[in-house]
Amino acid sequence: MNTDLSIVELIRDASLIVQLVMLLLLLASVASWAVIFQKRRALNAARADADSFEKRFWSGIELSSLYKQLKDDDRAQTGMAGIFVAGFREYLRQVKQGEPQPERIGEAARRAMHVAQLRELDRLEANLAFLATVGSTSPYVGLFGTVWGIMNAFRALGNVQQATLAMVAPGIAEALIATAMGLFAAIPAVIAYNRYADRVERLEVRYDTFLEEFVAILQRNARQ
């Protein structure tokens, strides 16, 4: 008895439930890779924008001149530049209203920048939860397909008087493919989630540091 154990044949001959599990895992894997590449571009751009802005900010340029350059630039409304624009806009508003206390000016600017920071972090963290979900659930989905396939393989043995390895091997093999596909979907998603979550956290630390330094500068300017 010659049995074709090629992967294509095993998938084609698998039961409908196992095929649906494999299709679901394939779609989850494709979607997770799309998110991985998208988040990689977004986080690389966020880090490059932060590097570029910090270089301009600490170059000695006048804050008012930098604000005028950025306030009407849509590309500067995100990242560290967006935090700066939000803070300096609130600083100018407080000064225009005649607020005499530098501490209150600094606190108002801090609140405005914190809102801009939260908005930016929400943008950077978008779809990370999807990677975590794929990474945590795909092995169990694959295991379900494996259990179902093995159950069908052993159920088929009840209809024969003499069981052989050649009879049960295809069913077990097709079932194990579901587990392999679950791991194939989960492993990259888990690695990418951990890596990107760490990068977002590092950017958050940079934003926090800049925010506090900028508040100190605004309060010092308000005292002059």
Task: For CA atoms 138, 180, 23, 196, give the dihedral sign.
Answer: positive
Q: What is the mean pLDDT of the chain?
A: 87
Which are the contacts of 160, defined by CB distance < 8 A and separation ≥ 6?
167
Tell me what pLDDT residue 114 has.
95
Cα–Cα nearest to 206, from 125, 108, 109, 120: 120
* The predicted structure's pLDDT at residue 189: 96
The mean pLDDT of 113-134, rounded to a whole number, is 94
Q: Which two tokens stand for residue 180?
A: 């392999």
Which has the higher per-residue pLDDT, 17 or 218? 218
Q: Which residue has the higher pLDDT, 96 or 98?
A: 96
Arithmetic mean of pLDDT, 57-79 = 85
Percent of the chain with pLDDT over 70: 86
Both tokens assigned to 84: 């700066």
Domain membership flag for residue 115: yes
Query: What pLDDT, on the 0 to 100 scale, is given for residue 97?
Result: 85
Tell me the whole-structure pTM to 2 decimals.
0.83
- 4: pLDDT strictly greater than 70: no
**Alpha-carbon span 224 to 220, nearest angstrom:** 7
Using CA atoms, how far apart are residues 54 and 65, in angstroms rounded to an integer? 15
Task: State the Cα angle at 137 between 134 and 140, rounded to 5°.
Answer: 140
pLDDT number for residue 214: 94
Is 1 part of a structural domain of the chain? Answer: no
Classify residue 2: in a domain, yes or no: no
Residue 196 lies in a domain: yes
Number of compact structural domains in the chain: 1
Q: How many Å apart are CA 127 and CA 151, to the nearest integer?
A: 36
CB 25 within 8 A of CB 138: yes
210 touches 83 (CB < 8 A) = yes
Model confidence band, residue 2 (pLDDT cutoffs 50, 70, 90): very low
Calculate the alpha carbon distances from 145 to 14, 94, 193 in Å: 10, 62, 25
pLDDT value of residue 148: 84
Residues 152-179 have pLDDT tens digits of 777 766 666 665 656 666 667 777 888 8
Domain that holds residue 130: 7-223
